[in-house]
Structure 1
């Protein structure tokens, strides 16, 4: 219970790894948990990691050590706040799959090895995303939004946001506001993408309800996959 943090998390883990009930606590589970602590993970991080990857407490220690080594090899040190996310990302990835995904990122974004390392260290989940998902987002961000490759290197979280529910609708709003002189041309697109839905509405929709009373409805339509006429620019 202390390991998983709650009975709900424990039951969820048991459904995926019933061996938790019979694994040797002293010889298997506790050494794995102790090793993760040695790697700098706190109790909360370990609980979250084991809840998402319930095989970890009952695995051979060598396998857990290999997972840690793999996370470090992709450029995420143990002291990084992204280390837990890196462990989760590489948990079921072979070296060949990681290498293939790194090559895809290099070819798609024309990134160098160093740039791929920067992007992956900031967003390890990139390694788990499907090629199709990455391709669709990259095409939109590069071809339609017009972002530079190096811009995305330092903001790789953009590649993990929903294209239909976040990236595209918010781009339409920002572009509309700029085209109509309601937002500075220098306003950064990422500043509109990274914030929560509530913050976005408060900062980019509500202040313009008088000048653009239709904006909230058009934004809602865009989130549903439509392209309102007011969001079409030539």
Structure 2
């Protein structure tokens, strides 16, 4: 009888609608910690105590309330409800703490009506519950986005550009802000067309997404910044089609790298078309110290030297391989001298770096 009762109970659970089974998953409640079912544990007296119950330590609580002070005045019942929603989805432990600590603003918003419909749609989009949970951990605001006003229009926008929902779902894991920030107009579409990239290209989805989430004035500034080094707009967009993330680099970084490449290294500007890593490399940590070391090796008459193609290979190497190829390959005394020179070159700070005031340009880049 007991065994048949268990089977009947399992059958009952399997027959419940999916929206209801979301509420039957493992959840954490205050009363569960009490051994006497007739005595209920009282609600914490403040938000800080509530966060500690869900696994946050004192440092986490301080960070949360510093980033979102309004939570200290939030309704504790509503706040607990939002945390319980995350737990019922299967987000707990370090993932829950990560969401609350890194994105406390999410808890200030409204989950709104239609949460179950939203979850069902998102699960069908990502394919599995595990993929959905990964996406929510990356961007908890997915639980807040309106299904008809935000989620579906975004999917329609990318499908209209020839990017499937499956591809977009994978991109959302690496670029969680695609959903709220994507927009296209005639000028952005013109930029995409001028790249000359085909929809079959592996880079196409990145070209479209980077332009879609970027502000128009940001795109104009970054294109104009590369243009002034002797490129046409079509050449800039051609570079962008081969390495879409060049549009994510700041104007300052591109300008400083290009100035050093042309002015100090005496390389032609168009070399970045074939070797775009020159734009991505850190000037203070890679380009300048390695180029200076190459000059030092040349002055000392040592081999191997960094000239022509070997210079470009040296700049592209990871640090351990670079040191083996050009520093530790020499005798101990020489290697020590070269290493001291290299470390000193890496320690050269940018002019007035200590007094530099950071300017936040805003999303996305």
TM-score, reference length from structure 2: 0.49
Question: Which deviations, in whole Å up to 9, do the C-alpha atoms of 1:115-163 show, x marking residues without a partner?
Answer: 3233222232332322222221111111111111122222222112111
C-alpha distance in structure 2 between counterparts of 1:34 and 1:159, whole Å = 29
Aligned pairs for 1:53-132 within 5 A? 53-57=175-179, 63=183, 69=189, 72-75=192-195, 76-107=197-228, 109-132=229-252
CA contact (8 A) 1:192 1:200 kept: yes
C-alpha distance in structure 1 between counterparts of 2:135 and 2:205, whole Å = 17
CA contact (8 A) 1:71 1:86 kept: no
CA contact (8 A) 1:145 1:171 kept: yes
Pairs aligned (count): 217
Q: Does 1:147 align with 2:301?
A: no
- The residue that corresponds to 1:221 in the other structure is 344
Aligned pairs for 1:1-234 within 5 A? 2=126, 5=131, 7-15=133-141, 17-20=142-145, 23=147, 28=152, 31-32=155-156, 35=159, 38-39=162-163, 43=167, 46-47=169-170, 49-57=171-179, 63=183, 69=189, 72-75=192-195, 76-107=197-228, 109-179=229-299, 180-184=301-305, 185-210=307-332, 211-225=334-348
C-alpha distance in structure 2 between counterparts of 1:168 and 1:186, whole Å = 16
CA contact (8 A) 1:123 1:157 kept: no
The 1:67–1:193 alpha-carbon spacing in structure 2 relative to 1, beyond 3 Å, is farther
Question: Which deviations, in whole Å up to 9, do the C-alpha atoms of 1:12-35 show, x marking residues without a partner?
Answer: 2115x4425x636xx828955983
Q: 5+ unaligned residues in a row in structure 2: which ranges?
A: 1-122, 350-365
CA contact (8 A) 1:74 1:121 kept: no
> Relative CO higher for 1 or 2, CA cutoff 8 Å, sep ≥ 6?
1
C-alpha distance in structure 1 between counterparts of 2:165 and 2:201, whole Å = 10
C-alpha distance in structure 2 between counterparts of 1:128 and 1:19, whole Å = 27
TM-score, reference length from structure 1: 0.71
C-alpha distance in structure 2 between counterparts of 1:192 and 1:41, whole Å = 41
Q: CA deviation at 1:40?
A: 7.0
Tell me, what secondary structure is at the counterpart of 2:298?
helix
Q: 5+ unaligned residues in a row in structure 1: which ranges?
A: 227-234
C-alpha distance in structure 1 between counterparts of 2:165 and 2:271, whole Å = 31
Cα RMSD, aligned residues only:
3.7
C-alpha distance in structure 2 between counterparts of 1:139 and 1:96, whole Å = 23
C-alpha distance in structure 1 between counterparts of 2:186 and 2:302, whole Å = 54
Stretch moving more, 167-176 or 134-143: 167-176
- Which structure is larger by alpha-carbon Rg, 1 or 2? 2
C-alpha distance in structure 2 between counterparts of 1:146 and 1:121, whole Å = 26
CA contact (8 A) 2:158 2:164 kept: no
Stretch moving more, 202-211 or 65-74: 65-74
The 1:178–1:84 alpha-carbon spacing in structure 2 relative to 1, beyond 3 Å, is farther
CA contact (8 A) 1:82 1:122 kept: yes
C-alpha distance in structure 2 between counterparts of 1:174 and 1:19, whole Å = 54
